[in-house]
Amino acid sequence: MNNYRQFIETVASEAGTLLRERFHNRHIVHYKGEINLVTEADQLSEALIMERIRNAFPGHDILTEESPETANGSDFRWIVDPLDGTTNYAHGYPVFCVSIALEVEGVICLGAVYNPLAEELFTAEKGEGAFLNGLRLAVSRTANLKEGLLATGFPYDIREDRNNNMNYFKAMAMNAQAIRRAGSAALDLAYVAAGRFDGLWELKLMPWDTAAGWLLVSEAGGVVTDLCGGPYGLFSPHILASNGLIHEEMVGIITKTDPLDAQ
């Protein structure tokens, strides 16, 4: 995996540099939904990453946010979010990242999340651990939810669907030390792996939001499940990740909260 690891690190850093260089520019914004947007930076970053993958590994599959899936029937699939935190980026709010993962025969084997403004490269390899700029990561040791700092986010259909996380946010806020909603699920997961957050939950995410972060948390010693504590999969709609020590408490709060009580 060494060659693949070097490749994913290089490409994530290259795409992140592109985003950093354009961060303060005026952006061209298009709307995919009422509050779901895409910028020219998303498209440029994605084009760069896809070009690098196709040149290096022309037969590999690619699943990415802004383009149709490239499905060649390969055992290798790259899962790409070229700019996670687009709304932040478009508004000049400095929280965003590039996320790239490599899936081999259905298993996420490599992941990279790059925060270009902080120049922090989070990487993980299955069975080999998680790292930040080459230094090994470990999840936090916070053992009680009341002392925990959590992260979450809200889905794009928050105005249309009552299953919009407002209910879970209220319940968690009454039990945790604090909650942050920064706007980049991939970066939030990397921060769980780094011990900066003790836990995270979020609804209605896509594979490119979670693939790399899922591996990061797992390889840093954390736990990743669905909201109710069951097995998590790449296409699971909801995610709960933690340091493991507060996981059961978080699951307990989720399962005791009415899923339709979003008022």
The pLDDT assigned to 68 comes to: 87
The pLDDT assigned to 159 comes to: 82
What are the residue ranges spanned by the domains of the chain?
2-136, 145-256
Interacting residues of 88 by C-beta distance below 8 A, sequence separation 6+: 94, 95, 96, 182, 183, 184
- The class level of CATH for 2-136 reads alpha beta
Strands (E), the chain: 29-31, 37-39, 61-64, 76-84, 97-104, 107-115, 120-125, 129-132, 135-136, 149-151, 178-180, 199-203, 223-225, 238-242
Asked whether 199 and 150 are in contact (CB, 8 A), the reply is: yes
The pLDDT assigned to 44 comes to: 94
Tokens representing 7 are 């490749």
The reply to whether 145-256 shares the fold of 2-136 is no
The pLDDT assigned to 260 comes to: 60
Interacting residues of 47 by C-beta distance below 8 A, sequence separation 6+: none
Q: What is the CATH number of domain 145-256?
A: 3.40.190.80
The pLDDT assigned to 263 comes to: 39
Summarised one tens digit per residue, pLDDT across range 230-262 is 999 999 989 999 999 999 999 999 999 977 654
The pLDDT assigned to 27 comes to: 74
Share of the chain above pLDDT 90, in %: 84
Helix spans in 127-227 (H)? 166-173, 185-193, 207-219
Signed CA dihedral, 97, 98, 104, 109: sign only = negative
Q: What is the CA angle 147-239-119, rounded to 5? A: 75
| Residues of the chain with confidence (pLDDT) below 50 | 262-263
